[in-house]
Structure 1
Amino acid sequence: MVDLKQKPFYLSDEDIRWVEETIASMTDEEKIGQLFIMLDRKKDFDETKEIFDRFHIGGCRYSNEPAEKIYEQNRFYQEHSKIPVLIACNCDNGGDGACGGGTYVATAAACGATDDDSTAYSVGYVSGREAAAVGCNWDFGPVCDLLYNWRNTIVNTRAYGKDPELVIKNAKAYVRGVRESGLAVCCKHFPGDGIEELDQHLVMGVNTMECDEWDSTFGHVYKEMIDSGIQSIMAGHIALPEYSRKLRPGIKDEDIMPATLAPELITDLLRGKLGFNGLVLTDASHMAGMTAAMPRSQQVPGAIAAGCDMFLFFNDIEEDFGYMMDGYRNGIITEERLTDALRRILGLKASLKLHEKMKKGTLIPEKEGLSVVGCAEHLAMAAEAAKKSITLVKDTQHNLPVTPKTHKRAYAFVISSPPISRKNQHDPVKQLVKEEMERFGYETTMHESYYDLVLDDGITKETELRSVIIGKVEEFKKKYDVVFVFINMKGYAQANNVRLEWSIGHSTEIPWYVKELPTIFISLNYTNHLLDVPMAKTFINAYAPTREVIRQTIEKAAGEAAFEGTCNDNVFCGRWDTRL
């Protein structure tokens, strides 16, 4: 059972009195509602008010819009809730996770590429300030996963690295930054992603480590974060079979569940062995790692019965609320477990002084505070993060430096995900690349991919032929001095592993040109693309498709600034030819 006077709550007697009196005054429906975190996609205020009135939800997360709209939305949440609401955001990389127009600073991978933890602190600092400005009080970060498997694209850029000490150092720095603005923080995704290559949106993840190995890696990370006072932990839809077998001798393979539904992992391991006294929430409940584990009617109350305190997102609000209520009434959720969960939820709210702020009318800050979103100070931090993180993985052919003085005429590819992922629009990164290349002084010809041609001209035989016929190699060499290949691939909840994908079979994008002209490959996202272009002799990991990152990468390639970032062996994807 929770001890609200201890870490991470540290509540006073008066705070605890508010928690207990609030619980005592609640109806069963109000108690059940506190267990849910709603995802607000529609942003229909009339509908939202009805949800608050009828279902009494404990927390909210939302899809991003401009800062002023998010601010008004969050004000509405608090004004129409009987009990202060936990309002969460996903600020993995900076304030861009709190609102449109927020400041991107750096991915965790970029933080891990630097030589200290100041970049991770900056990410947390900017995340906290911009999230607090729009009225958030809970940040779903930091990511505490360990990227051991280079094939894993779920946490490829979201993990600080594969060294537990590096992850601990950066995660703690991130937390320090966030807490300057008073937000609660959340480690994710217990018991740890990065061992395999599967996406829990599509399938249950499995952390295959033996117990002793887990204790010294993921367990070590979580123990350090718990001891430092982390307030909440997100349970992933990830099984830890060896610990389930150890803690439940004789458990059948078919009964091994993801952590979100496994009491031996939440109650016994996380709360018992690791001593976590804070709040546990599930990862998103629409992910197949959870939905395929058991019927929905059992999943919903089963997560709370397993030891999770809050359930992240509804499928159908009325139905899921009914499932949770039925689970309480039929004893799947005991009175003791429900009360313990409520104490942790309200305890977190009290630790943030939400109950006091509600009385004072200060749950939402003054609107003038929105001026910090995208401010000069934060943009300077983003520029410094790019400076310190952009990584030259290899330059074995000594193509660098390349500048407009020596290689004036540039041909530039931008290899993008299919246009359906950006609502059938051209990749805006392509325009950023063109502008920054030309700003720097290159005469730049942008390649038109099959995607580009189809968006402009439709699917025709001509567009197909233009996309697969290279033309005369000698003419290409006479026209251009250097080739730049910017890789801007990203996947989400569609494939278990994201690989570099050309826009059409036998595309003219495929690197036929690497032996003809100096070629500079730049990844603007994942760190493992050398697997698909091992013929690249010059490869840069830049970690993000922002103007600042693109600008600094071009400058560094020209020798105007040093590459300061570092990388580990994951970037070579376990192959010998990627190192050549």
Structure 2
Amino acid sequence: MVDLKAKPYCLPDEDVRWVEETIAGMTPEEKVGQLFFQLTASQDENYLRELMEKYHLGGCRYNPMPGAAVQQQNRTLQKYAKVPVFIACNTEAGGDGACADGTNIGSGIKIGATRNNDYAYALGKMANEEAAAIGCNMAFAPVCDIHYNWENTEIVTRAFGNDPVRVAQMSKAYMDGLHTIPGFACTAKHFPGNGLDFRDAHLSNNVNTFSVEEWDKTYGMVYKTLIDGGLDAIMGGHIMLPEYARAINPALKDEDMMPATLSPEIMTTLLRGKLGFNGMVVTDASHMVGMTDRMTRREMLPASINAGCDMFLFFNDPDEDFNTMLDAYKSGVISEARMTEALTRILGLKAHLGLNKKAKEALVPAPEVLAGALGKEEYKEMHKAISRDCITLVKYKDRDVLPITPERYKRIMIVHVKGAESGMGMLMKAMGMGGGKNPAEMLKERLCEKGFDAFIYESPLDAMKKQIAAGEKPNINLYFAGKNAIDDFVSGMDLVITLCDVSSGRPSFGLSKGGGEIPWYVFELPVVVIGCGQPTMLADVPQARTYINTYDAKPATFDALVDDLMAGPDAFKGRDPIDSFCGLFDARL
């Protein structure tokens, strides 16, 4: 039973009547349409009109594009919606998650490193002020996961860290900042909690292995904090919680274990019953393998609703998925009672946001609002402040290396270590996208501006690639057999910065014999290793004597990094938000 008078809805009688009367007046097709969130694939008006008039969508999300284009898309969606539509964005780190010209405020891990809850509040407020200006009304944020497993790359930079209390406080602060914006909903993710399994639910199963007691004290505490604070919605993760599921249903067999989004034990008994969540639940993306590998898609769609999810994220084929859900409703697989319950939560939240009381043309701000709404100076200053306060000196064994000044280390070699290139990365490069200066070039420029002679190391492998591109045949044997004398190798520089620019996964060092890619020479000359992506590089470079995490390679971050390097160890304000030593004793040596 949904209580529309209680949190998070708190509806007056007239809005309760609107919910009930709207549901009563819906056709089966209109009811089913409200269950779907779809990712828009075009901004063409006829396409958007069909989404709303043919599929009667309850919600939409979209791929990044400039704010003006998003706003026009959203205006078109609301124009053709019989019932106002949720329009969601991924404002996990700033307004740049809502539109391409939005402002990055700071990722979860950066804010976690500052230990400043006010920054999390500012993120929730500022990011979603920009989102509201382009006509969004829901954030798929904050990320409430807890990063326990250093090999988990799915949420490491998105979560606030590995401390449940910090995650709860910062997630709540984000929500409170968001709730200063009228008519905007907060959707916390990914229930029942990511961060224990090293696997990515986009690609495989993901299992939260905590016992009932462990989960209650950690992830459960985080979500209870948000629920008690008025959380609007939750995104269900495709994450198994077997110990809790078995405690609720002892007859459950291993082969019947489901991700939370398909598990009534987790989504209904635990979330609705034990935690008392009265708000709306949407699944995570339905293409993720953590969901699709448990049953056929025809079974999966209604199973997610019957498990306790109210909305289903993304069509595969629109006609096929819509008709699958419609058939399930008409045949009774989804009961009338369950359909009414889901619709009551969906429409109840829309009424809570005041969408039912606005004229269509008022659901999205006017175009002229954009000029003063995006990229405010206070947002940019907040981004700079977080960047200054987050940089973390994780490991400092050679106590005399810092500060780095031109007088001490005139010649600095920057070794740019990257991760393995993904298929999408190669595609974007082939299409001429994602260009611009790489982090090594950015760092070199900043150091040279400060009076250093900085240069970027070219590995033998990179040199051979250039020879091949020029039609020459490289002598690979020289690479394997040739070694420089140590004196010759170190004579060309005073200090080395190994810049680990790994956005996901592990660093890719390429060939290692005789080259400078891997800092084997940490006792031969001063070496500073810097992680400007994944903060877990000590697992692969445990020999680093000085290790720093910046968490990203934004210009403001690198400005602050160079200032801190030149000022000395006491300038670094950040505190490790995870275990950057990755639980490895040798990383501390």
TM-score by length of 2: 0.93
* Maintained 8 Å contact 2:112/2:577: no
Alignment-derived partner of residue 46 in structure 1: 46
Superposed CA deviations along residues 529-574 of structure 1, whole A, max 9, x for unmatched, are: 1000001011111111211111111111111771111116611111
Displacement of 1:364 in angstroms is 0.7
Displacement of 1:123 in angstroms is 1.4
Mapped pair 1:413 → 2:425: no
Superposed CA deviations along residues 263-314 of structure 1, whole A, max 9, x for unmatched, are: 1111111001100000001011000000101100011111011110000111
Displacement of 1:9 in angstroms is 0.6
Superposed CA deviations along residues 164-208 of structure 1, whole A, max 9, x for unmatched, are: 211111111111222222321011111111112111001121111
Write the distance in 1 (CA, Å) between the matches of 2:478 and 2:345: 61
Paired AA for residue 442 in structure 1: F
Paired AA for residue 567 in structure 1: D
Distance 1:69 1:465, change over 3 A: farther
Displacement of 1:4 in angstroms is 0.9
Larger displacement relative to structure 2 (449-458 or 247-256): 449-458
Alignment-derived partner of residue 495 in structure 1: none
Q: How does 1:387-426 map to 2 (within 5 A)?
A: 387-398=388-399, 399-419=401-421, 420=423, 421=425, 423-424=428-429
Write the distance in 2 (CA, Å) between the matches of 1:197 and 1:477: 38
Larger displacement relative to structure 2 (431-440 or 547-556): 431-440
Larger displacement relative to structure 2 (277-286 or 460-469): 460-469
Mapped pair 1:509 → 2:517: yes
Mapped pair 1:306 → 2:310: no
Alignment-derived partner of residue 542 in structure 2: 534
Paired AA for residue 444 in structure 2: K
Mapped pair 1:477 → 2:487: no
Superposed CA deviations along residues 222-276 of structure 1, whole A, max 9, x for unmatched, are: 1111111100011100111111111112111000100000011111110011000
Write the distance in 2 (CA, Å) between the matches of 1:179 and 1:414: 42
Paired AA for residue 26 in structure 1: M
Distance 1:466 1:273, change over 3 A: farther
Aligned residues: 573
Alignment-derived partner of residue 501 in structure 2: 488
SS at match of 2:186: strand
What are structure 1's unaligned runs of at least 5 residues?
492-497
Write the distance in 2 (CA, Å) between the matches of 1:467 and 1:389: 40
Paired AA for residue 181 in structure 1: I
Superposed CA deviations along residues 368-418 of structure 1, whole A, max 9, x for unmatched, are: 332332221111000110111111001111211112232121111222234
Write the distance in 2 (CA, Å) between the matches of 1:19 and 1:101: 36
Mapped pair 1:350 → 2:362: no
Distance 1:576 1:321, change over 3 A: same
Displacement of 1:472 in angstroms is 4.9
Say which of 552, 556, 565 aligns to 1:557.
Answer: 565
Q: How does 1:89-128 map to 2 (within 5 A)?
A: 89-128=89-128
Q: How does 1:231-250 map to 2 (within 5 A)?
A: 231-250=232-251
RMSD: 2.2
SS at match of 1:87: strand
Paired AA for residue 297 in structure 2: R
Larger displacement relative to structure 2 (335-344 or 44-53): 44-53
Distance 1:319 1:388, change over 3 A: same
Distance 1:451 1:325, change over 3 A: farther
Write the distance in 1 (CA, Å) between the matches of 2:23 and 2:464: 61
Displacement of 1:524 in angstroms is 1.1
Displacement of 1:512 in angstroms is 2.9
Write the distance in 1 (CA, Å) between the matches of 2:534 and 2:178: 25
Larger displacement relative to structure 2 (447-456 or 405-414): 447-456
Alignment-derived partner of residue 282 in structure 2: 281
Alignment-derived partner of residue 587 in structure 2: 578
Larger displacement relative to structure 2 (267-276 or 142-151): 142-151
Mapped pair 1:462 → 2:471: no
Alignment-derived partner of residue 499 in structure 1: 506
Larger displacement relative to structure 2 (415-424 or 12-21): 415-424
Write the distance in 1 (CA, Å) between the matches of 2:166 and 2:541: 28
Mapped pair 1:431 → 2:438: no
Say which of 527, 530, 550 aligns to 1:522.
Answer: 530
* Maintained 8 Å contact 1:418/1:503: no
SS at match of 2:580: helix
Q: How does 1:2-401 map to 2 (within 5 A)?
A: 2-182=2-182, 183-358=184-359, 361-370=361-370, 371-398=372-399, 399-401=401-403
Larger displacement relative to structure 2 (277-286 or 175-184): 175-184
SS at match of 1:486: strand
Write the distance in 2 (CA, Å) between the matches of 1:524 and 1:396: 20
Mapped pair 1:543 → 2:544: no
Displacement of 1:513 in angstroms is 3.4
SS at match of 2:454: strand
Superposed CA deviations along residues 478-527 of structure 1, whole A, max 9, x for unmatched, are: 22111112212123xxxxxx222224465641113323321111111222
SS at match of 1:10: coil
Write the distance in 2 (CA, Å) between the matches of 1:536 and 1:554: 19
Q: Percent identity?
A: 44
Displacement of 1:467 in angstroms is 7.8
SS at match of 2:571: coil
Distance 1:87 1:443, change over 3 A: same
Larger displacement relative to structure 2 (417-426 or 14-23): 417-426
Larger displacement relative to structure 2 (367-376 or 500-509): 500-509
Paired AA for residue 74 in structure 1: N
* Maintained 8 Å contact 2:38/2:60: yes
Write the distance in 1 (CA, Å) between the matches of 2:147 and 2:60: 29
Distance 1:345 1:565, change over 3 A: same
Distance 1:476 1:205, change over 3 A: same
Write the distance in 1 (CA, Å) between the matches of 2:463 and 2:502: 15
Larger displacement relative to structure 2 (149-158 or 474-483): 474-483
Distance 1:248 1:517, change over 3 A: same
SS at match of 2:528: strand
SS at match of 2:362: coil
* Maintained 8 Å contact 1:235/1:280: yes
Write the distance in 2 (CA, Å) between the matches of 1:35 and 1:454: 52
SS at match of 1:404: coil
Larger displacement relative to structure 2 (131-140 or 37-46): 37-46
* Maintained 8 Å contact 2:414/2:440: no
Write the distance in 2 (CA, Å) between the matches of 1:124 and 1:470: 53
SS at match of 1:379: helix
Write the distance in 2 (CA, Å) between the matches of 1:460 and 1:576: 46
Distance 1:460 1:538, change over 3 A: farther
Displacement of 1:209 in angstroms is 1.0
Write the distance in 2 (CA, Å) between the matches of 1:455 and 1:324: 55
Write the distance in 2 (CA, Å) between the matches of 1:467 and 1:64: 43
Paired AA for residue 414 in structure 2: A
Mapped pair 1:447 → 2:448: no
Distance 1:196 1:455, change over 3 A: farther
SS at match of 1:462: coil
Write the distance in 2 (CA, Å) between the matches of 1:228 and 1:273: 16
Displacement of 1:30 in angstroms is 1.0
* Maintained 8 Å contact 2:147/2:195: yes
Distance 1:267 1:460, change over 3 A: farther
Displacement of 1:453 in angstroms is 7.1
